[in-house]
A = this chain, B = another copy of it.
């Protein structure tokens, strides 16, 4: 009987196993999982800390017994594969004290990724520092919380998981400090979008330290020394500085590794060794937008790859087309999401991205409880190709980023975004959805109807002699604050007061969100006055540079 051995029993491995069974009823399918659990919901781990997911066992989606009954799978937790012999087609497996050899016809590696443990002095002696990647990690943290009743928590790393853990520990009543090495939280997002998240964290009472890193753990981890010498008292520390592919086993078997140590596979998931396949967080994939090698550690691609490798073994035609990377995190009352490339990563990839910011509402403004959505689109102004998108807001951010992720996967351009026809009734959306609107805004830039300058370009522009023109109302200036040295003409008076402008000066126009300033820009441009729109306008600027705003 054909025998397929799978190493790793979570997303990729278990998707492969169950699909294989549906395609190959008579094959022997063995899954070796190093840990005590298979098919658990690792994305739910942070929510079990606060009790928002009440029962930790709710995360244990499947058991070996249930998988045996339903799929006739031979699932073996606490079985670590120590070695692979690609010539003999065997694996060496350790289970407790026992070590044995198992043969295979095909081997699928789905080892996943493991937490990066930063090389910090004293970390090994720290008895209160944990990662959160699996259920035993969760159990350790919960035991520590229970036994030691910690008050102060330090989160090292403000990525998706770090922020989820921060929120859930804060909800549990702990005093939370986040330490992030990058200049801003959520490094996958761009700085100004991440600023909304930082402000929300601070508003909720979380202490946020960016451009900072831990240099030493002292007193068994009770004190953390930062780069600038600050000493943080920390009753419990969560390490969430990222993950790295778990590829020791593959490496020892002589399987070729690539980008950042990930397992190299072809488009059918075959490694450099015959009959050995690999899927999930451990493999190198193509970033579909740049076609560059990358590592992507997300559940959705892992599941898809697992199913696809089963299809390949089942004789179906499949191809790993790569990933774009789409992710979301809830941070208290906000959601922050991204898909594709950030502006920064697009530039790093040698692209020449244009960006545009838009603020809209999750549903029709005239219907109760509409909330703000802030979108950013990263695109190529020449071809219209969409490189990526980011969104922030209380509601409906997941929907907009999912739509834009679909557009990117489908090769749609900015010119297609206004064409998209969405479900519209007042509780659900708007006749012109923010996705349509950001398409219009991008097209205006691509076609030269509008020119924008970015928040980080403003200071230099003003130093170079440009004049800031604020077209908000008097009341907005009084209530929300004003830019230093801005000329002020409310939009509705602009046509009558054009003579107050100097035709030899170039203007940067702003309003609250960027819509009225665009209307002003069009009036000025057609009056022969040189001008640009401050993208994102006052509201974005006030989010990222509140210290520059004057409150009278």
B-binding residues in A (CB < 8 A): 11, 21-26, 41, 43-44, 47, 52-54, 58-59, 61, 69-72, 160, 164, 298-304, 307, 316, 321, 323-330, 335, 337, 339, 364, 366-368, 397-399, 401-403, 405-407, 409-412, 416, 418-429, 431-433, 436, 440, 447, 449, 491-492, 495, 518-519, 522-523, 526-527
Measured in the bound complex, the distance between the Cα atoms of B427 and A160 in whole Å is: 14
Choice from B47, B402, B427 contacting A403 with Cβ under 8 Å: B402
A403 to chain B, nearest CB (A): 5
Chain B's closest residue to A440 (CB) is B307
Do B367 and A47 touch across chains, with their CB atoms under 8 A apart? yes
Do B428 and A303 touch across chains, with their CB atoms under 8 A apart? no
Measured in the bound complex, the distance between the Cα atoms of B426 and A299 in whole Å is: 11
Do A328 and B406 touch across chains, with their CB atoms under 8 A apart? no
Given A25-B527, A44-B364, A61-B366, A409 and B402 contact (CB-CB distance below 8 Å): no
Measured in the bound complex, the distance between the Cα atoms of B518 and A23 in whole Å is: 12
Given A70-B491, A72-B495, A367-B53, A406 and B420 contact (CB-CB distance below 8 Å): yes
Choice from B44, B304, B432 contacting A426 with Cβ under 8 Å: B44
A229 to chain B, nearest CB (A): 36
Beyond A23-B522, A302-B431, 4 additional pairs, beta carbon < 8 A: A53-B367, A321-B419, A405-B420, A409-B421
* B-side contacts of A61, CB under 8 Å: 366
Choice from B325, B329, B492 contacting A425 with Cβ under 8 Å: B329
Measured in the bound complex, the distance between the Cα atoms of B418 and A409 in whole Å is: 11
Do A301 and B423 touch across chains, with their CB atoms under 8 A apart? no
* B-side contacts of A412, CB under 8 Å: 406, 409-410
Do B326 and A423 touch across chains, with their CB atoms under 8 A apart? yes
Given A59-B366, A406-B407, A421-B326, A300 and B431 contact (CB-CB distance below 8 Å): yes
* B-side contacts of A367, CB under 8 Å: 44, 47, 52-53
Measured in the bound complex, the distance between the Cα atoms of B399 and A53 in whole Å is: 24
| Most chain B beta-carbon contacts within 10 A, residue among A300, A330, A410 | A300
Do A423 and B337 touch across chains, with their CB atoms under 8 A apart? yes
Do A492 and B300 touch across chains, with their CB atoms under 8 A apart? no
Q: Count copies of this chain in the complex.
A: 2
Do A300 and B424 touch across chains, with their CB atoms under 8 A apart? yes
Given A300-B431, A419-B321, A425 and B25 contact (CB-CB distance below 8 Å): no
Given A364-B41, A403-B406, A325 and B526 contact (CB-CB distance below 8 Å): no
Measured in the bound complex, the distance between the Cα atoms of B433 and A303 in whole Å is: 11
Do B423 and A328 touch across chains, with their CB atoms under 8 A apart? yes
Do A409 and B403 touch across chains, with their CB atoms under 8 A apart? no
Measured in the bound complex, the distance between the Cα atoms of B425 and A22 in whole Å is: 28
* B-side contacts of A316, CB under 8 Å: 447
Chain B's closest residue to A24 (CB) is B526
A382 to chain B, nearest CB (A): 16
* B-side contacts of A527, CB under 8 Å: 25
* B-side contacts of A397, CB under 8 Å: 423
Do A43 and B423 touch across chains, with their CB atoms under 8 A apart? no
* B-side contacts of A526, CB under 8 Å: 24-26
Do A421 and B58 touch across chains, with their CB atoms under 8 A apart? no
Do B47 and A424 touch across chains, with their CB atoms under 8 A apart? no
Choice from B302, B411, B416, B523 contacting A25 with Cβ under 8 Å: B523
Measured in the bound complex, the distance between the Cα atoms of B428 and A327 in whole Å is: 10
Enumerate 19 A-B pairs (CB-CB under 8 Å) in ascending A order.
Answer: A25-B522, A25-B526, A44-B364, A52-B368, A53-B366, A61-B366, A300-B424, A300-B431, A300-B432, A303-B432, A324-B421, A327-B423, A328-B428, A330-B425, A330-B427, A398-B399, A399-B399, A409-B416, A410-B410
* B-side contacts of A303, CB under 8 Å: 431-432
Measured in the bound complex, the distance between the Cα atoms of B43 and A429 in whole Å is: 11
Do B409 and A411 touch across chains, with their CB atoms under 8 A apart? no
Choice from B11, B398, B411, B432 contacting A423 with Cβ under 8 Å: B398
